[in-house]
């Protein structure tokens, strides 16, 4: 019944596109992330029907509609628990989750922390533009405290931003990397590594919103590869994050914690001895 997980014929990135026209603004970083993701799937030769992509709500969460994998555009902030249920029920599928910084770190923040902890074998891609774009430009958890262009926070948020990589490491994610939409080939490579790595993989992608954060066009000049290789030591990774300015690209951490496996062994194999106590 189950089809093979990989295709025999070479796959091209365009083979994974649905043909639906994205709602994104011209110049949105998410176009590059879509390209990177299709490149990654083609590189891995994954059969489209063996891949499920789960998202929440927001600009970047529209991503599943643009791929011809099994797409699932769920409720705001809830991509990760949906992906968790699907992967546990169907370990044969390659399960990916994707969304934005508001969806993933604000309304879905609790699920992010616990998904890192639980370490189910899924890959989570967050397109971070430090703004709520779909609702026309409000500050998100990753927005700098002095960004004062939102009608909701005209004097800036005055609140320290959330630091996704630190939270991911502290919560126990098994693979942590950063990529940039300005380098789709590099992002594709990171996504391939993330999917191949067992357990919960977190890929933070800087993906500018040129509509509400036009200054983010400069990000492409600020990003640079991290000067060191990935580590499997969380203490080393934590030290490196102390000097991270949010623009180092590459894989920070590759852990070796075994992925979550639901307990399939009955605690009590035979209840008849207990039930005897209640027999009439």
Q: List residues near other proteins by CB under 8 A.
A: 2-3, 18, 20, 48-50, 52, 54, 64-65, 68-75, 78, 80-90, 92-93, 110-111, 113-114, 262-272, 275-276, 278-280
Return the closest-CA partner of residue 16 out of 28, 27, 7.
7
Q: Which of the 8 DSSP states describes residue 258?
A: P
Q: What is the C-alpha to C-alpha distance for residues 1 and 136, in angstroms, rounded to an integer?
A: 46
* Closest CB 54 distance from other proteins, rounded Å: 7
Return the closest-CA partner of residue 112 out of 85, 77, 144, 161.
77
Smaller CB separation from other proteins, 168 or 177: 168
Cα 154 → chain centroid: 30
* Closest CB 89 distance from other proteins, rounded Å: 4
Smaller CB separation from other proteins, 82 or 241: 82
* Closest CB 18 distance from other proteins, rounded Å: 7
Pairing of strands 201-206, 131-132: unpaired
Helix and strand numbers (H, E) in the chain are 9, 10
Smaller CB separation from other proteins, 68 or 231: 68
* Closest CB 207 distance from other proteins, rounded Å: 21
Angle at 88 between CA 13 and CA 196, to 5 degrees: 40
* Closest CB 75 distance from other proteins, rounded Å: 5
Smaller CB separation from other proteins, 6 or 18: 18
Smaller CB separation from other proteins, 80 or 237: 80
Cβ burial 194-204 (10 Å sphere, 16+ → b, else e): bbebebbbbbb
* Closest CB 124 distance from other proteins, rounded Å: 14
Q: Are 16 and 48 in contact (CB under 8 A)?
A: yes
Smaller CB separation from other proteins, 168 or 241: 168
């Amino acid at each position: 019944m189950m089809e093979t997980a990989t295709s025999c014929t070479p796959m091209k990135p365009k083979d994974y596109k649905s043909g639906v026209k994205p709602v994104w603004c011209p110049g949105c970083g998410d176009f590059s992330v879509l390209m990177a993701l299709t490149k990654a799937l083609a590189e891995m030769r994954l059969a489209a029907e063996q891949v499920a992509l789960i998202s929440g709500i927001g600009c970047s969460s529209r991503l599943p509609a643009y791929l011809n994998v099994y797409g699932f555009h769920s409720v705001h902030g809830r991509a990760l628990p949906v992906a968790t249920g699907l992967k546990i029920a169907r370990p044969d599928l390659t399960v990916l989750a994707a969304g934005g910084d508001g969806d993933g770190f604000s309304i879905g923040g609790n699920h992010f922390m616990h998904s890192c902890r639980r370490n189910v074998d899924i890959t989570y891609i967050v397109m971070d533009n430090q703004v709520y774009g779909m609702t026309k430009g409000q500050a998100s958890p990753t927005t700098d405290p002095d960004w004062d262009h939102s009608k909701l926070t005209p004097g800036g948020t005055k609140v320290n931003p959330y630091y996704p990589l630190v939270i991911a490491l502290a919560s126990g994610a098994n693979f942590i990397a950063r990529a940039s939409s300005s380098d789709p080939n590099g992002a594709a490579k990171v996504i391939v590594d993330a999917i191949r790595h067992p357990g919960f993989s977190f890929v933070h992608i800087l993906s500018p919103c040129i509509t509400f954060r036009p200054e983010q066009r400069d990000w492409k000049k600020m990003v640079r590869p991290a000067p060191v290789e990935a580590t499997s030591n969380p203490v080393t990774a934590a030290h490196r994050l102390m000097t991270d300015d949010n623009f180092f690209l590459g894989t920070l951490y590759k852990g070796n914690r075994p992925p979550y496996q639901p307990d399939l062994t009955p605690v009590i194999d035979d209840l008849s001895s207990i039930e005897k106590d209640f027999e009439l």
